Structure 1
Amino acid sequence: MLRVIDTFVPPDALIAGRVRAGPLEGLVMHMYPHALDMAIGRHEPLVVDLIRRHLSEGDLAFDIGANVGYFTLLMARCVGTSGHVVAFEPDPLVGEHLRRNVARNQGHIAASIDAVTMAIAGSSGTRPFMPGSRLSRGKLGSESGPVTVSAMTLGDAVDRYGSPRLIKFDVEGAESEVLEGALESLATLDSTIIIEAHSQRLEQRCLRLLRESGFHCERLLQPGTKETYILATK
């Protein structure tokens, strides 16, 4: 069924639908036709489990590289009425879908959510951005790109919004840059951090930076895939 939908729907188009099962059951989201695992509650079960285990009522959470907001909304359900979620998405178009999904479900999600169109990077300012062939694959450029986006460091985000209980980031290859730009903050943060590692080299750099900042790290594999994650705790 998913292959049929992918054939007839443009790959960068989103479709609106109700989530039928899983952690976001009952919510309505704009979702990618190639990622209908969101609608049936099977999207990245490892990350879902980690978020549920490490967030509680009243917590602050950062969703860095939030995309259309699946994990943003999950975090909001976990932190409840007294909690707060800040979702960062650098791609202006994807950020619009994120804000739409947050607004559409505000009546069903009691937590406060800030959807911020901004990159978390190694330095603050502006950065070139390379949109991907699919909306979920855009990434920061090093020198040039068709789009320029605003960026702040993780330390700046902590200064602005507070120290989060949980940070999840999926930044398409910029993961070690984000950590390198926040070493002073990492040394004092008592956060749980979930990172998707996009290469073995980046994974090793992230592990080194986190351990040097006092974190205990576990390497985790998404079931049924080759996707690897780092879970860092103090």
Structure 2
Amino acid sequence: MIEAASYGAYAPKGIVRFLIDWTRSLPDTWLARRAVILVRRFVMRRLDGAPVDIEAWGVRMRVRPYNNICEKRVLFTPQTFDAAELAILAADIREGYVFIDVGANVGAYSLFVASRAGPSARILAVEPQPEIYDRLTFNIRLNAFPTIKAIDCAVAEKTGEVTLFLDPNNAGESSLKVVSCGGATPIRVAARTLLDLIQGEGYERVDAIKLDVEGAEDLIIEPYLAKAPSRLFPRLLILENGLARWQIDLARLLENKGYVLKAKTRQNLVFERACGETLDG
């Protein structure tokens, strides 16, 4: 479980604080990335397994950067953490923004949107791993964001119970498909469909969905687009790039539903759908 000590108890100090601040000032270049790797190793040895209290994008977070790539990036380089994706989201935010964060991890995307969307937003942060879910809810409480609702379940093609495979080297990586790393740990978790989740919250529309489920995005999106009314098709759809692992041509399916590829980054594909689009083919 996440430590119950008040925020600030694990604030970095001395040389550790100096080096973290330094990595956060660097541009996104090859040379800077190499420098960050070297500094990161030194800092994590000095931290010796302790959590770290930080701020990123104006929100408070407590992170454990040792076996979670997401937390490592948020700690050392928030300025380059999915920068294009977050910029697109920030530009899209409007009154009453509805954002669904599937595979929320420790809450980076949800917290970012909440910090900018105001009190009328509705944000659903979905995370199936019990330990990571604890970290997510802790970070939400740190910021007292009433606009975020966290749900501890997997999102799958059908409601019920599923096997989730956990990567032992990256606590933030779990999938309904066997992960590439040997020694993946299977656990059984409750699952709901994306449509069931959204309709259960009573949403009349969805502005944006971020879906990061380690190659199982096709298993979730295909049935959703087949069954959801077009008013629940998100304007923005941010998908982890699983082109090599998807079992269908998901990009073509999205194109048939009125989406165009807005951005392609190292990690993700961002699709946008024109307002008022009603294609059903």
With the length of structure 2 as denominator, give the TM-score of the two structures: 0.70
Distance (Å, rounded) in 1 between the aligned partners of 2:243 and 2:45: 29
For residue 29 of structure 1, report the CA deviation from its aligned partner.
Answer: 2.8
Q: Deviations over 1:109-152 (max 9, x none)?
A: 4x52111011111111110111112211121247x963111111
Letter in 1 for 2:209: I
The number of aligned residues is 221
Distance (Å, rounded) in 2 between the aligned partners of 1:41 and 1:178: 28
Equivalent residues in 2 for 1:95-134, closer than 5 Å? 95-106=133-144, 109=145, 111-133=146-168, 134=170
Which of 194, 197, 209 is the equivalent residue of 2:253?
Answer: 209
For residue 4 of structure 1, report the CA deviation from its aligned partner.
Answer: 1.7
Letter in 2 for 1:2: R
Change (3 A) 1:89 1:220: same
Question: Which runs of 5 or more residues in structure 1 are unaligned?
Answer: none
For residue 232 of structure 1, report the CA deviation from its aligned partner.
Answer: 3.1
Which of 164, 171, 176 is the equivalent residue of 1:140?
Answer: 176
Does 1:49 pair with 2:87? yes
Distance (Å, rounded) in 2 between the aligned partners of 1:81 and 1:91: 28
Letter in 2 for 1:79: A
In percent, how many aligned pairs have the same letter?
A: 22
Letter in 1 for 2:207: R
Name 1:27's counterpart in structure 2: 60
For residue 216 of structure 1, report the CA deviation from its aligned partner.
Answer: 1.9
Name 1:167's counterpart in structure 2: 209
Change (3 A) 1:201 1:208: farther
Distance (Å, rounded) in 2 between the aligned partners of 1:135 and 1:158: 26
Which of 207, 211, 221 is the equivalent residue of 2:264?
Answer: 221
The structure number with the bigger radius of gyration is: 2
Question: Which runs of 5 or more residues in structure 2 are unaligned?
Answer: 1-38, 179-183, 275-281
Name 1:75's counterpart in structure 2: 113
For residue 233 of structure 1, report the CA deviation from its aligned partner.
Answer: 1.6
For residue 92 of structure 1, report the CA deviation from its aligned partner.
Answer: 1.2
Does 1:184 pair with 2:184? no
